[in-house]
Amino acid sequence: MHNLGMSPAWTFTDVFGLEPELLAMLPGPTAALLFLFPITKKVEQFDTERLEKIGKDGQTVSPDVYFMKQTVGNACGTVGLFHAVLNTQNKIPLENSLKQFAEETKSMSADERAAFLAESDIISSAHHESAQEGQTEAPQINEHVNNHFISLIHKNGALYEMDGRKEFPINHGPTSDATFLNDAAKLCKEFMQRDADELNFTIVALCKAD
């Protein structure tokens, strides 16, 4: 994302495991996680039940959370990168294309942002960039895949799941700058447990560079 305007003081790096000693290997403070997981029937059933519960009980979402829908096929990696970077502007300065995109879409709805992204030249550049983050290759726009990227972010004291397939962000409870990485890692473990037969998971952290 550096070519699009993300500060070179921050970088994306692969997370090799969720145990404390492996998380400690990350180069610096972590602002967000990108989580790649397979979409299976068990995962979809869990999501359906969870969204029904939120619809019944409600949730609190900070108006400062930047959320957009995913309307372009196989662009979940791109949307995930945007969710990670645009929700951490208080830590990570933006310039050039990313700064312009953030300013132009600030007052838009999630659907309007998706439409703007789809029509913007930045999406082809961002899709290429998403193929370079970590070691996970981004699929072609028209390629059928069963894996999906989401972002986990910290905003105003809460841990949010950012998934462009959904209608809204999901609040997973309190977190802080000091506890975000461990809280997000715990949530990744919960995701993995939804379908114990699956082993195809990838996690990439947005960290301060060495």
Residues carrying an active site annotation: 76, 148
Would you say 104 and 116 are in contact if contact means Cβ atoms under 8 Å apart?
A: yes
Q: How many CB atoms lie within 10 A of CB 48?
A: 10
CA-closest candidate to residue 169, choices 32, 23, 30: 32
- Chain CA centroid to CA 202, Å: 12
How far apart (Å, rounded) are the C-alpha atoms in residues 210 and 130? 21
| Helix (H) or strand (E) run with residue 130 in it | helix 122-132
Whether 32 and 159 have beta carbons less than 8 Å apart is answered as: no
End-to-end CA distance of the chain: 17
Tokens (6 digits) for 12: 């994306």
**Strands 147-155, 158-162: pairing kind:** antiparallel
Dihedral (CA of 100, 67, 137, 184) sign: positive
